[in-house]
C-alpha cells in the first residue's frame, strides 16, 4: 500500500462515483492513467516540488495533459492541485481500478507456472477460478521454472501455493522435525 492511500481515497471515490453516474468508466480510467504517467515524470515531479503557486501548478499540469483530460478531469486536477495532492495520483488510479473491478465483479489473478500454459489450460483454470471466486477472472500468467511444477495462484489476499517446490519444502521440514 502506498503512503498516499488515505489521501487518495476520497478523490478516487469521487471520480469513480462520477464515472459510474456518467457511464464513463473507461474514459475516466484512461484520463487517470494518463495523468498518473504525467505525475510520475521526473521533470513534473521536480516542478511540483518547486515553489510555484498551486494555481500555476494546476495550469501547467493541465497544459501538459492537453486534450487527454476533459473538463471534468481538469476540475479533478485543479482540486487536487489546490490541496497539494497531485503526488497522490498514482494511488488514486490504483484505488479507482480496484473500485472498478469490484463494481464489474472482476478480479485479476496472477498465475505462476513452471511452463507456459496453453489456451485450453488457461480456459479451464479461468472457469474453475470464476466458479470459486464468483467473479469474472482475468488471468495474468507468468513462467517461473524454479517452481518445478504446479501453480502459484494469487488473487488479492488469497494465495494458493500448489507448487512442487513448496510441497518439497514442506516434506523436508516435516522430515527434519
Whichever domain contains 117, its CATH number is 3.40.30
Average pLDDT over all residues of the chain? 90
Banded model confidence at residue 147, pLDDT cuts 50, 70, 90: confident
Q: What is the tens place of the pLDDT at every residue in 34-50?
A: 999 999 999 988 888 88
Same domain (yes/no): 30, 85: yes
Q: What is the tens place of the pLDDT at every residue in 75-106?
A: 999 999 999 898 899 999 999 999 998 898 88
pLDDT computed for residue 89 by the predictor: 94
| pTM passes above 0.75 | no
Same domain (yes/no): 50, 86: yes
Domain closes at, from 102, 137, 152? 102
Domain closes at, from 85, 102, 119? 102
Give the domain range for residue 141: 106-176
Domain closes at, from 70, 102, 134? 102
Is residue 1 predicted with pLDDT exceeding 70?
A: no
Half-sphere exposure of 157 (CA within 13 A, CB side): 1
Contacts of residue 146, Cβ cutoff 8 Å, sequence gap at least 6: 165
Is residue 51 predicted with pLDDT exceeding 80?
A: no
Same domain (yes/no): 97, 120: no
Is residue 2 predicted with pLDDT exceeding 80?
A: no
pLDDT computed for residue 101 by the predictor: 86
* 132, 136, 138, 143: CA torsion to nearest 10: 10
* pLDDT > 70: percent of the chain: 98
Spatial separation of the C-alpha atoms in residues 45 and 55, rounded to whole Å: 16
Q: Which of 98, 93, 151 is nearest to 125 (CA)?
A: 151
Amino acid at each position: 500500500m502506498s503512503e498516499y492511500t488515505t489521501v487518495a481515497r476520497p478523490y478516487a471515490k469521487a471520480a469513480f462515483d462520477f464515472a459510474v453516474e456518467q457511464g464513463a468508466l473507461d474514459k475516466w480510467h484512461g484520463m487517470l492513467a494518463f495523468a498518473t504517467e504525467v505525475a510520475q515524470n521526473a521533470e513534473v515531479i521536480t516542478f511540483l516540488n518547486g515553489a510555484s503557486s498551486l494555481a500555476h501548478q494546476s495550469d501547467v499540469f493541465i497544459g501538459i495533459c492537453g486534450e487527454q483530460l476533459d473538463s471534468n478531469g481538469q476540475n479533478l486536477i485543479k482540486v487536487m492541485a489546490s490541496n497539494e495532492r497531485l503526488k497522490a495520483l498514482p494511488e488514486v488510479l490504483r484505488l479507482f481500478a480496484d473500485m472498478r473491478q469490484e463494481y464489474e465483479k472482476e478480479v485479476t489473478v496472477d498465475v505462476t507456472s513452471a511452463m507456459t500454459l496453453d489456451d485450453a489450460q488457461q480456459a479451464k483454470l479461468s472457469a474453475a477460478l470464476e466458479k470459486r471466486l464468483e467473479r469474472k477472472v482475468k488471468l495474468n500468467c507468468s513462467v517461473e521454472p524454479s517452481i518445478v511444477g504446479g501453480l502459484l495462484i494469487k488473487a488479492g489476499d488469497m494465495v494458493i501455493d500448489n507448487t512442487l517446490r513448496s510441497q518439497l519444502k514442506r516434506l523436508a521440514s516435516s522430515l527434519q522435525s
